[in-house]
Amino acid sequence: MADGKYIGWGGFQKEGDEWDFGLVLRPDAFGLGRRISKKAIDFAIADDRIPFVTFLLPPSRKNLGALGRLGAEHVGDVDYGGERFLKFRLNTA
């Protein structure tokens, strides 16, 4: 929610031993993604239970510069529900 308006959903989800972060915003809220993600990453850095965060993105996603600026590294591709995703990892410890 932002200013009382629904803008999307997201958060951390434990996948085995990994914490995956996802964020899905309405198109009119795309500009808030950076601030929301920064708060989430700051939370992960402050929590000793989260030594790293993973991100899964579809191969069609071409603009990956933000992940690189965060320090996330591409660690390979994964199959999730029959679909291929690019997997990135950001160390938070």
Domains of the chain, with CATH numbers? 8-91 (3.40.630.30)
User: Stretch 19-25: mean pLDDT, rounded?
Assistant: 95
Q: What pLDDT was estimated at residue 57?
A: 92
* Nearest alpha carbon to residue 88 among 64, 65, 72: 72
Band (65; pLDDT cuts 50, 70, 90): confident
Band (34; pLDDT cuts 50, 70, 90): confident
**Confidence check: pLDDT of 42 > 90:** yes
The token duo for 39 is: 């708060």
The maximal CA–CA distance of the chain, rounded, in angstroms, is 38
Q: What pLDDT was estimated at residue 48?
A: 94
Whole-structure pTM value = 0.86
Q: What's the mean pLDDT when you consider all of the chain?
A: 93
